[in-house]
Structure 1
């Protein structure tokens, strides 16, 4: 996962320019762009505006709102000039993505009020692909971007969407209300989803996208810089669970996996997260692990407290629980320091029978 999106932005912009430049002599003002209310000219200008806005967010390190600026094309600029501006602003976003440190997050309103460099790259690519499609529809031109580019977007900012491995472009169009997929209801209201980050005193818990999970499961870094000895095997196993849930359309980012990153140096030290969404009674299971070189410093306790407090602040969560081997004394100390207590033997027995838990596991819980 060496490329955090700069190359992808350039690839998307190149596909846009390849379609629009030969059509620059057409009437863009008098033609509506697909299903949009805008005409093709306004839509093309919007692509450029989005690209420079995202570049500005990253370059300006904006944390509370959008950087208050916009672009205006010179009077008399023709359609070919608009394509020039799209290429220029795309180059600026690609440069901003490449030069922004991995830990930097800048403001974006949905859904968690921030995005990292990869998120802004993915949003920029999505804007280019989708609005180029809108313009192509208006002008009656065929347009189909590379499948790999569409998959790249889906696995980063559409984690809740069940993929169609053989039809990523159709999936992206369906997910944004621009097309149909067999067996799925039409989409009328949609949002993309940047990864959630939960802050703690010395750590940040950074939500893992399906793309990062797939890389971790395959033996990669997931786009993180890890402490020596990391990631631990449990983190890779948990990443596999995310990949499986994503493939089934069951992944929900808030109830997935987080990589624990140390603020002081930006190094990832472990993984933490949930085994799935809360059940009908508001109960969810947590799990965690650390790389061996990060243990004994209170990181697991701090991360578990932060995750637990974030989850229990929600109206749909009443109880969190963890299953820990009775021989794992260090993990038992972590769970106790994080405010969890051992459940009664009767409840433990009933839960073990209901969920077919191993006899060596002990249950601990924390309520809202």
Structure 2
């Protein structure tokens, strides 16, 4: 499992065209693409159309919708020409991904209305892998992409799906294309790009499992950190995120976020939830800032922003933080972000029913 990049787009497209080239003399319009309603020719055109659309949105920094054009083949274009179009549009997406500056995002409709370069690369790869499978199924030819590429794709776009013993069957199951032992068949599905939440001076950038994995191992998670970062609390939170992903209980919108400063693109801290809301709609939040950025209000800005986002949801009634008695700076951050000290009764319940440590104070903010 590792971050997705432009080279992965190139690899996916090369595998697609190599697999389909053995059937280039067949009539693709006469063959249905697996379980799809499209024939193989229409499916191949769809792949090329998606690749160029993703490249255009990323390169053009589209913000409100897809750029207003679509791919049209010249009359009489054969299968060999169509494969060349897929190769070319794949190369354009790979180039757009490689040249996109860090932090750039562009429009994609779901689930959070935008994607970054890694997200567009992964979506292009998903279209290529899955629809090559569909066409290969219809044409009766073998096809299976590299396991490492599929594992990275699952972690990037399907962080809500528990990894299986083998990545390819897991991806096919997760997209309604196959069965997986012990799991209910999938009839509806969507991939999920990472969530970003803008604030005044920073952007809360959701961590993907691959980034969390790198942070757990002592890496930078793909971010350029201010000197001294990331703080140990961010690495610990990344470890919890990874464990949740491996257990199949990770909800990406209630994960961990890096605090990326607008002025220079450097990460100055981390913030995140300790899991999804419970049945009462309570969710716990934690945060830290690297030493070089402390005392500048970043933690307060991040906590206020993330809490506002959470409390605007229907499934969150209260956000709470547990803070050590001696950690006065963190208590002040919570207070400035609109949190108040819990009542004596609330703290008693937290201690008795939820195992709150005696050395911690409970700070809450309600919807």
**TM-score, normalization: structure 1?**
0.98
Alignment partner, residue 326 of structure 1: 325
- Distance across 1 between alignment mates of 2:161 and 2:2: 24
CA spacing shift, 1:38–1:67, aligned 2, 3 Å:
same
CA spacing shift, 1:175–1:3, aligned 2, 3 Å:
closer
- Secondary structure of the residue aligned to 2:29 is coil
Q: Aligned ranges for residues 292-307 of structure 1 at < 5 Å? A: 292-307=291-306
Alignment partner, residue 38 of structure 1: 38
What is the deviation of 1:4? Answer: 4.7
Q: Does the 8 Å contact 1:33/1:137 carry over to 2? A: yes
Q: Which runs of 5+ in 2 are unaligned?
A: none
- Distance across 1 between alignment mates of 2:2 and 2:318: 39
> Is 1:123 matched up with 2:93?
no
**TM-score, normalization: structure 2?**
0.98
Q: Does the 8 Å contact 2:3/2:152 carry over to 1? A: no
C-alpha distance after superposition, 1:204-235 (max 9, x if no partner): 10111111111111111111111111110000
Alignment partner, residue 20 of structure 1: 20
Alignment partner, residue 240 of structure 1: 239
What is the deviation of 1:357? Answer: 2.5
Q: Does the 8 Å contact 2:3/2:156 carry over to 1? A: no
Q: Does the 8 Å contact 1:2/1:223 carry over to 2? A: no
Q: Aligned ranges for residues 26-65 of structure 1 at < 5 Å? A: 26-65=26-65
Q: Does the 8 Å contact 1:195/1:208 carry over to 2? A: yes
Q: Aligned ranges for residues 1-368 of structure 1 at < 5 Å? A: 4-164=4-164, 166-368=165-367
- Distance across 1 between alignment mates of 2:264 and 2:352: 44
- Distance across 1 between alignment mates of 2:22 and 2:81: 12
- Distance across 2 between alignment mates of 1:26 and 1:246: 42
CA spacing shift, 1:140–1:212, aligned 2, 3 Å:
same
- Distance across 2 between alignment mates of 1:341 and 1:3: 39
What is the deviation of 1:347? Answer: 2.0
What is the deviation of 1:348? Answer: 1.0
- Distance across 2 between alignment mates of 1:319 and 1:337: 17
- Distance across 2 between alignment mates of 1:52 and 1:350: 56
Q: Does the 8 Å contact 1:4/1:98 carry over to 2? A: no
What is the deviation of 1:3? Answer: 6.3
What is the deviation of 1:27? Answer: 1.6
What is the deviation of 1:117? Answer: 0.2
- Distance across 2 between alignment mates of 1:229 and 1:260: 14
- Distance across 2 between alignment mates of 1:130 and 1:88: 19
- Distance across 2 between alignment mates of 1:150 and 1:336: 45
What is the deviation of 1:260? Answer: 0.7
- Distance across 2 between alignment mates of 1:100 and 1:298: 30
What is the deviation of 1:359? Answer: 1.4
What is the deviation of 1:69? Answer: 0.9
- Distance across 2 between alignment mates of 1:354 and 1:338: 26
- Distance across 1 between alignment mates of 2:312 and 2:356: 28
- Secondary structure of the residue aligned to 1:272 is strand
C-alpha distance after superposition, 1:287-330 (max 9, x if no partner): 00111111110000000000000000112111111000001011
What is the deviation of 1:355? Answer: 2.3
